Structure 1
Amino acid sequence: MPVSGDEGQAATFALASAAYRDNVVEDIKKTDNDWHQTTVKAGRWKLVRPNLGEAFSRAVVDRMLGPGRKPLIQSFGAEPQVVVEHCLAANNIRRERDNRLSTVVALCGLIFLPGFLVWLLVFQLRTFVARREDKRAGAIATTLLTGVGILAALFLLKMPFSGFWGWYARGCVVVPVLGWFWAKRICERTANDLRARWDGLLSGSSVGAKVPEAVPRGPGETAAEQLRQSLARLSAEQQSNSVFYAGPKGILGMGTRWGAWQLAEDLVPADPAREIHPFRSWDVVRAIHDQLRMLERGPLNTGGFPRPSIRHWIVTPIGEKATAVARPGGTDVDAFQIKQHAIQEICNKQQFGSGDRHYLGVQWTLWDGQLVITMLITVTVLHETLRIEVTGHALGPVNPLFTSKPEAPAKEVSKSFKPWETRTVKLPLVTADEVVRLAARAPLGWYPPLQKWLGGSLVLPEPFGLRHAWADQPWRHRFMADDALRAATPVLRVVHSAALRVLEENGVNIEKFGNRSSVLSGLVQDASPRKADLYDA
C-alpha cells in the first residue's frame, strides 16, 4: 500500500469501528451508491437477527479470510489487515459473551424449558407488535408484557399444582426472569466494552485488536497457522501491482476517472537527412518515472507536494457488472507482484487489441487516508504517432456512517405540565428486547452457518475491496476537490517535460509536441471533474 502524505489511519479506523457498532443492520444500506450496493439478507427468525457490528464483522472475516475466497481489490488509503483484525477481536468479545449467555440459558432456560418457551413467545409477540408502523404499537407491546407479568403473578399466588410440580411450575415462572437479569448484566458489560472500542478508534486513542488465535504456539495448532497464513496472504495481495478497470466504475480501488489529457503527434526526424534513433515506450516511461520523483521538490519553501508513491501498474479490463476478478498468474507473477521484465514487455508490446495494459501511476494518500489521488500515465506508439495520456482518478472519504461516534440512547418527551416543551430522557443502553435477542442468539454461535441462516447476514458488494466499497465522491468536500484538481497541472507538465527530453535526445522534431504540450498546459489549468468514462456515443 502506498504510504505518503498524511500518514494517519482515519479511514482504516473508521472502517474498523463498524465491527463494534450496535446499530440496526439496515443502516448499512445508507452507504449504497451508483456503483456498489450492500445486500441485507433476511433470516427466518427475526428475534435472532444480527445488528450491524455482528453482521459486518462476520461478513468481512468470511470474505477476506475464508478458505477458497475470491480475489480482493486493494484498499488504497487503508490497511485491510487492521480492519480484519478488529473484526476478529470483536467476534472474540462477542463469543465470550455468548459463552456466558449460553450458560445462563442452560441453567435458567433449558432446565425450566416450559416457562422459558412461554416467556420467549411473549417477547416474540411483543417484537412483532412493536415493529408495526402504527404509532400505538409501542404502547400495545408494553401493555402486552405488563399483562403477562400480572398473569404470571396471579399464577404464582393461585398455583393449581402442589408438591414437586408446584415448585417446578413456580421455577418456570421465576427462574427465567432471574436469568434475564443475570443476562442483562452480562450484555451491558460487553456493550460498554464494544462502545468504548468504537469511540476509541474514532477518537484517535490506541485501541489494539487482540487476536491470540492468529499466533501458533505449537506445531499442532493448524487452525492458528491457517489464520496466520490467511492474514499474510491478505497483506501480500494488498501490495499487488495488478488492478482492474471496470468501465464507468473506473479502476477499482482508485476511484472513477474524472479527467484525461492526451498529447499525440507524429514522430518526425529533427534532421531530415538522418533517421530517428530507435527507442521504445519503456524508455519514455522510465524517464517520466525518474522525473516524477522530483515532484516533492520546488523552488520555494511553501509546503507543496508530500512524497508520492510512484509505481508501475498492470491494468486488466473487466466488465462494468462483473462480480469477480481473476489476478494474473504464471511464472511472471511472484506473491501477487508482476515481475519487472513482464511489466516492460507489456509496456512495449500490448498497446492495441486485447490484453492487459501498462500504466505509470503517481499516488498521494491524503486527509488521513480519506482521500486517494492517483494520476496515471500511459505511452503508446501506433505507426508514426506517439501518444502520451494522463488521466486523473480520485477516491473520496469513507461514508459518514463509519465516522459517527456512539451516542447514549435517549428520546425527547413532552413535559407533563408544559406539553409545548420537551425534555430528553435517557434510555437504557441494553433494552429488554436486546437481552432476549442476544440470549436467543448465543447458543447458535456454536454453529455460525445456522446462526446466519436463522438470523440473516450481509452480502458484500463484489468485486469486494474494503476501501472502495464504502467510499463517497470527494467533490462535495471543497478542499478535497481542490487537492485533486491541483495535482493535475504539475503532473502533466512534468510528464511532458520528461517525454520531450527523451524525444529530443533521440532525434525527434519536438516542435509540434511542444506546441501541443503548451495547449494542454493551458487547458489543464481549468481542470474540473467530469465523468470521463461515460462516452456520449
Structure 2
Amino acid sequence: MASNGFDFSPGAQIPLQGSAGAAVATNALASAAYRDSPVEDILKANSEWHKSEVKAGRSTFLKSDYFKPNLGEAFSRAVQERMLGGARGALIQSFGSDPQTVVEHCLSASRLRKARDTKLTAITALFGFVFLPGMLLWVIVFRLRDGLAKTTDKALTALGNSLLPIFGIGLVFLMVKLPVTGILGLYLRAMVVAPVIGWYLAKRIAEKSAQDLRGRWEGVLSGGGVTAKIPEAVPKNPSETSREALRQGLEKLSAEQQSNSVFYAGPKGILGMGTRWGSWQLAEDLVSKDPGKEFHQFRSWDLIRVIHDQLKMLERGPLNTGGFPTPSVTHWIVSPVGENAGSVTRPEGEDVATFQIKPHEIQRICNHQQFGGGNRHYLGVQFTLWDGQLVITMMITVTVLFETLRIEVTGHALGPVHSLFTSKPSAKTKTVNKTVRFWETRDITLALVDAHEVTRLALRAPFTWYPPLLDYLGGKIALPEPFGLRHAWAEKPWRHRFMADDAMRAATPVLRVVHNAAVKVLDENGVDTERFTNRSSILSGLVQDPSPRKADLYDA
C-alpha cells in the first residue's frame, strides 16, 4: 500500500526548503517552533471549526508548573509526533504552505533545545541531585515565592518578592553558626551553596539559548534565510535505522501533500481548502439541435477534459494588466466524511500509487459515480496568493442524470494564518512609577529569562530524554483532527478587504470559461445550446453578487 513503508525518494537527502508562493504562511507556522510564549496562547488561534486543546499535566510536585512546556516546546513536540509518527493517521493537505519545511523547523528547534537540555542536565545532576536536600529546599522557596506573587493581596505579594533575600540571609547566618564540623558540616554548607551556583550557570545557558531561539523566531518571520538544520535526517550508513526512518517520514509527508484525494466535511467544506462560499449551477436538458436526429454521444470526461484545457489558459488575457497568476488545475477525488469526524482514511488499493489516484480511476469516477454512494470527481483550479496567505479554489463537477446535464461551479477560500503566528518577539517590559515624579510612569526592560524560567528549564532537563514522561508531568497540545497544518489555524479571508476582493473576482472569469468550454463541446456534438447559453448569461449576472455566503449551511 502507498502509505506503508514505501520509499518515496531516490536516495538520502535533505528536502528542499520552502514552497513557491507560500513563504509567508509557511514561515509563520514554522516560527511557532521557536517561540517561548505560554502554551495557552495556541488557544487564541482556534477557529469556528478547528480547535486545539492544552491538556494539563498530572504532576503533583508541589502543585507547580515547573514541568509545563512553553508554546514552542509543546508545538514542536505535537507536530513532530503527529506528522512523523510511525502510527500516524492520514493528514490533510496544507494548501498555500509547505508542511515539510514547518516540520523541519520543529525538528531543528527540538535539536537546539536538546543541546541546551544536555548541558542543563549535567548542571542539575552535579549541583542539584548530588546536593538533593538543598535543591529541594530552594525549589520549595521558589514555589512559595511564585504562589505569593500571584495573590491579589499586596502584603502577601510584597512578602513573596522579599522571600528569597530573607531566606538567603538566613542561610548565610546558619552556615556561619552551624555547629556541625567535619565532612558532614562541609556537605551541609555545600548543600546550601551548590544549588545557587548551579542556578547561576543554568541561567547563563538558558539566556544564551533564549537569545538564539528568539533570533530564529524573528529571522524566520522576516525571511532572513534561517534554515532548519536536521543532520539526523541524512543516514550515513545502512545501520542508522532511526535516521532512515526520519528521512522516509519526511518523504512520506511530502508525497501525501501532493495527494489528489480530499475530504468534504459538510459545513466545514473541503478540508484544507476552506468552506464553500458560493455555488452556481447550470442545468438544462440535452436536446438535439436537429429535430428528428440524435446528437453525438459523449461522456462527462469529454466535457471535463476540454474545461481543463481552457482553465489552463486563464493566465492569458487580451490586456497586459497582470491578471491571474499561473493557476494549478487538478483533478480531485472527493470523499465524504462526517462534520465531526475524528479521522479520515485515504483511498488504497491497486488504483492508488504513493497517495495518487491513478488517471484511469479518476476517469471512471468522473463518468460513472455521479449518483448514490461513493467518491465524486471534481476539477479544481487553485490560486495561491499573498505568499500563501490566501488560497482560492474553484471546483467544477459535471453530472448527467437522464436527459439533464448539470455543471456546478463552487468557490472555496482559505484565509490567512492566524495573527498569533505572524507576531514577532518583543522585549519583556514592565511599567512602573518613577521614583521622584511618582505620578509618571516608565517602562523597564526585564530579564529575558527570569528566575522561574531558569528553575523550570533546569528541572525539566533531566526528563527530556523521554518526552512521554514530560507530556504526563507537564501537559501537551492536543491538535485538532482531522489535522492539517494550514487549515487548522486559518482565519476567514472576508475581514481583509483585498483578499475578499480577490476571492470574489476569481469567480466570474472561471465561471465563464467553464460555460464557454461546455457550450463549445455541446455544439460540436450536435446539442441545442440555446437554453445553456441563456442560462449561462443569467448566472453571469448572479455571480457578480458581492456577498459571500455559507453555501454549505442549508436552511432546512
Structure 1: 5+ residue runs without aligned partners?
A: none
User: 1:85-104 residue pairs with structure 2 within 5 A?
Assistant: 85-104=104-123
Q: Quick check: 2:379–2:396 contact (8 Å CA) kept in 1? A: yes
Q: Would you say 1:366 and 2:385 are equivalent positions?
A: yes
Aligned to 1:185: 204
* Structure 1, 130-139 or 513-522: larger mean CA deviation: 130-139
Q: Would you say 1:292 and 2:342 are equivalent positions?
A: no
Select the residue among 513, 518, 543 that pairs with 1:494: 513
Aligned to 2:238: 219
Aligned to 1:29: 43
Shift of 1:8: 4.5
User: 1:70-469 residue pairs with structure 2 within 5 A?
Assistant: 70-132=89-151, 138-469=157-488
- 1:6–1:279 Cα change, 3 Å: same
1: CA distance, partners of 2:227 / 2:69:
24
Render the CA deviation track for 1:455-479: whole Å, top value 9, x for unaligned: 1101000000000000000000000
Aligned to 1:11: 25
1: CA distance, partners of 2:270 / 2:39:
29
- 1:439–1:518 Cα change, 3 Å: same
1: CA distance, partners of 2:251 / 2:176:
64
Select the residue among 65, 69, 78 that pairs with 2:88: 69
* Structure 1, 520-529 or 192-201: larger mean CA deviation: 520-529
Render the CA deviation track for 1:490-519: whole Å, top value 9, x for unaligned: 000000000000011111111010000000
Identity %: 66
Q: Report the 3-state secondary structure (helix = DSSP H, G, I; strand = E; otherwise coil) of the residue aligned with 1:446.
A: coil
Aligned to 2:543: 524
Shift of 1:6: 7.2
Amino acid at match of 2:243: A
1: CA distance, partners of 2:531 / 2:279:
20
Q: Quick check: 1:6–1:367 contact (8 Å CA) kept in 2? A: no
Aligned to 2:52: 38
1: CA distance, partners of 2:19 / 2:143:
53
2: CA distance, partners of 1:89 / 1:480:
33
Shift of 1:134: 5.0
Render the CA deviation track for 1:409-428: whole Å, top value 9, x for unaligned: 11111112223221010000
Q: Report the 3-state secondary structure (helix = DSSP H, G, I; strand = E; otherwise coil) of the residue aligned with 2:331.
A: strand
Amino acid at match of 1:43: G
Amino acid at match of 2:223: G
Shift of 1:138: 4.3
Shift of 1:137: 5.7
Q: Report the 3-state secondary structure (helix = DSSP H, G, I; strand = E; otherwise coil) of the residue aligned with 1:47.
A: coil
Select the residue among 12, 20, 29 that pairs with 2:34: 20
2: CA distance, partners of 1:173 / 1:5:
54
Structure 2: 5+ residue runs without aligned partners?
A: 1-17, 60-64
Q: Report the 3-state secondary structure (helix = DSSP H, G, I; strand = E; otherwise coil) of the residue aligned with 1:526.
A: coil
1: CA distance, partners of 2:119 / 2:158:
32
Shift of 1:129: 3.0
2: CA distance, partners of 1:449 / 1:522:
58
Aligned to 1:472: 491
- 1:361–1:513 Cα change, 3 Å: same
Q: Report the 3-state secondary structure (helix = DSSP H, G, I; strand = E; otherwise coil) of the residue aligned with 1:487.
A: helix
Shift of 1:139: 3.0
- 1:532–1:137 Cα change, 3 Å: farther
Aligned to 2:78: 59
Q: Quick check: 1:215–1:228 contact (8 Å CA) kept in 2? A: yes
Q: Report the 3-state secondary structure (helix = DSSP H, G, I; strand = E; otherwise coil) of the residue aligned with 1:74.
A: coil
- 1:193–1:406 Cα change, 3 Å: same
Render the CA deviation track for 1:328-382: whole Å, top value 9, x for unaligned: 0000000000000000000011111111000000000000110000000000001
Render the CA deviation track for 1:262-298: whole Å, top value 9, x for unaligned: 0000001100121011000111101100100110011
Shift of 1:128: 2.9
Q: Report the 3-state secondary structure (helix = DSSP H, G, I; strand = E; otherwise coil) of the residue aligned with 1:120.
A: helix
- 1:490–1:133 Cα change, 3 Å: farther
1: CA distance, partners of 2:520 / 2:85:
50
Amino acid at match of 1:149: G
1: CA distance, partners of 2:147 / 2:55:
19
Q: Report the 3-state secondary structure (helix = DSSP H, G, I; strand = E; otherwise coil) of the residue aligned with 2:190.
A: helix
Q: Quick check: 1:5–1:308 contact (8 Å CA) kept in 2? A: no
2: CA distance, partners of 1:136 / 1:480:
53
2: CA distance, partners of 1:323 / 1:130:
41
2: CA distance, partners of 1:138 / 1:48:
24
Render the CA deviation track for 1:192-220: whole Å, top value 9, x for unaligned: 11001000001110000000100000111
Q: Quick check: 2:333–2:377 contact (8 Å CA) kept in 1? A: yes
Amino acid at match of 1:60: V
Shift of 1:131: 3.6
The alignment covers a number of residue pairs equal to 534
Shift of 1:143: 2.2
Q: Report the 3-state secondary structure (helix = DSSP H, G, I; strand = E; otherwise coil) of the residue aligned with 1:252.
A: coil
1: CA distance, partners of 2:490 / 2:348:
29
2: CA distance, partners of 1:513 / 1:21:
56
Shift of 1:44: 2.3
Amino acid at match of 1:54: E
Q: Quick check: 2:282–2:535 contact (8 Å CA) kept in 1? A: yes
Aligned to 2:6: none
Q: Report the 3-state secondary structure (helix = DSSP H, G, I; strand = E; otherwise coil) of the residue aligned with 1:392.
A: strand
- 1:18–1:138 Cα change, 3 Å: farther
Aligned to 2:12: none
Cα RMSD between the aligned structures? 1.3
What TM-score, normalized to structure 2? 0.94
* Structure 1, 523-532 or 374-383: larger mean CA deviation: 523-532
* Structure 1, 129-138 or 33-42: larger mean CA deviation: 129-138
2: CA distance, partners of 1:127 / 1:513:
73
